[in-house]
Amino acid sequence: MIWVNPVIPIIPATIALTGSVVLSLIFLMMINPKKKLATINTMKLFYLLLISFVLRLLSLGYPSVYVFDEVYHVPAIRAISQNSSDAYNPFAKAPEPNTAYDWLHPPLAKLFQAGSVKVFGDNSFGWRFPSAIFGTLSIAGVYYLAWVLFKSQCLSLTAALIFSLDNLQFTMSRIAMNDIFVTTWILFALAFFFKKNYFLSAIFTGLALATKHSAVFLYPIFFLFGWRYFYYYLFIPPLIYLFSYLQMFLLGGSFQGFINLHQQIYWYQTSLKATHDYQSTAWQWPLLIRPVWFYVQYYKDSVANIYNLGNPAVFWGGLVALVFNRQLFLLASYLLLFSPLIFSPRILFLHHYLPALAVLAVILSRQIYQSKYLPYFLILVCFCFIWFFPLNTALAIKTAWLKYWFWLPSWK
């Protein structure tokens, strides 16, 4: 066996499950593709979302230790669930060795995660369960954005399927961080903006900002394509952002403390000089040059990894699709959701590309969904997803075979 799992032997079932889903979807897409049957397409979407959710739940609690930035997020989640102001205190003492409270990001995602801890307990499944939910919702968000833009259920389903089988999206749906949350909010903010429902778009923009500050990259998009309605985004999102800190104020925090916190956030974002072996710059992300090692566990003759790597077929196929793209709103959204980070003074990682990748899935689907090569491309996407699945889920791989997963020298 190339793949082994010292914890749960799920890989054969997962391959069979994923393969059957994708092949059945390809089959359904090929049935009378010119006839839009709403009921069948709705069933296909439901089927895709259900299977995507199940896949994201498989061994979700493994490993039970902190993975990558969970060393910051989980202590803050725990503090929020315990009504401790340490979650909002930049100077709070570290609760455990080699950890710290994540006060850097707004609290909305952590509020969802703290609620999960209340339901499922303070354990790795409880920390990560909301990410699996929002990972599935982000797939629905890609579907909805494509539908609003092109009014084609086949195209929209293709986009959702491609995004669901991206390994970066999959990994970020199984870790207690906030990137999958902000991606979901951004997708719906863009969709409602294009639909000219600026009120709902502003609400989702506020939810995105209350999750991660990088959602501010939505503002130039909205100004470029709807400056007459820009006032919606000047009032509603800031109010939602402020409201997300309600717990801090209820715990005795003052408005001056709120300002001081954001001064510390600004200083951190602009002055941090830290480095990391797997950091990367924004221009490298579309090329999939530098994935990130989230977790590693060595065994006698095998190794288990959580390696945050995107699906090469989606990443590189998306770059080809960009050449032929004629939809300016999508192109601007894609570029503005990540290219400003080229100028960021702090270290960055591949997962910061996730919101742009979601838009890229729509661009890619627009170019491929009517092509005779669509089934073959989806099979390629499925193959890459399954091939890299062990690296996303800490399924142990025989050490002697590991080289076959590292296609580029920079992936090691």
- How confident is the model at residue 157, as a pLDDT? 93
- How confident is the model at residue 24, as a pLDDT? 52
Residue partners of 188: CB distance under 8 A and separation at least 6 = 141, 144, 145, 200, 201, 204
- How confident is the model at residue 11, as a pLDDT? 46
Task: Please check the confidence at residue 95 and state whether its pLDDT lies above 60.
Answer: yes
Residue partners of 186: CB distance under 8 A and separation at least 6 = 204, 208, 215, 218, 337, 355, 358
| pLDDT tens-place string over residues 248-263 | 999 999 999 999 999 9
- How confident is the model at residue 12, as a pLDDT? 47
- How confident is the model at residue 19, as a pLDDT? 53
* Per-chain mean pLDDT for the chain: 90
pLDDT band of 369, cuts 50, 70, 90: confident
Task: Please check the confidence at residue 15 and state whether its pLDDT lies above 60.
Answer: no
DSSP label at 245? T
State mean pLDDT over 289-306. Answer: 93
Round to whole Å and give the CA distance between 187 and 184.
Answer: 5
pLDDT band of 385, cuts 50, 70, 90: very high
Better-scored residue on pLDDT, 412 or 3: 412
Task: Please check the confidence at residue 304 and state whether its pLDDT lies above 60.
Answer: yes
CA dihedral 31, 312, 191, 29 (to 10 degrees): 0
pLDDT band of 5, cuts 50, 70, 90: very low
| pLDDT tens-place string over residues 121-180 | 999 999 999 999 999 999 999 999 999 999 998 899 999 999 999 999 999 999 999 999
| pLDDT tens-place string over residues 117-131 | 999 999 999 999 999
- How confident is the model at residue 10, as a pLDDT? 44
Task: Please check the confidence at residue 349 and state whether its pLDDT lies above 90.
Answer: yes
Round to whole Å and give the CA distance between 24 and 308.
Answer: 28
Round to whole Å and give the CA distance between 149 and 137.
Answer: 18
Q: Supply φ then ψ for residue 293, to 5 degrees.
A: -80, 115
State mean pLDDT over 88-102. Answer: 94
Q: Two tokens at 305?
A: 């990894």
Round to whole Å and give the CA distance between 60 and 67.
Answer: 12
Q: Are 89 and 103 in contact (CB under 8 A)?
A: yes
Lowest mean pLDDT among 40-54, 85-99, 229-243, 390-404: 40-54
Q: Are 378 and 193 in contact (CB under 8 A)?
A: no
What number of other Cβ atoms are within 10 A of residue 159's Cβ? 31
| pLDDT tens-place string over residues 211-266 | 999 999 999 999 999 999 999 999 999 999 999 999 999 999 999 999 999 999 99
- How confident is the model at residue 371, as a pLDDT? 87
Round to whole Å and give the CA distance between 57 and 102.
Answer: 25
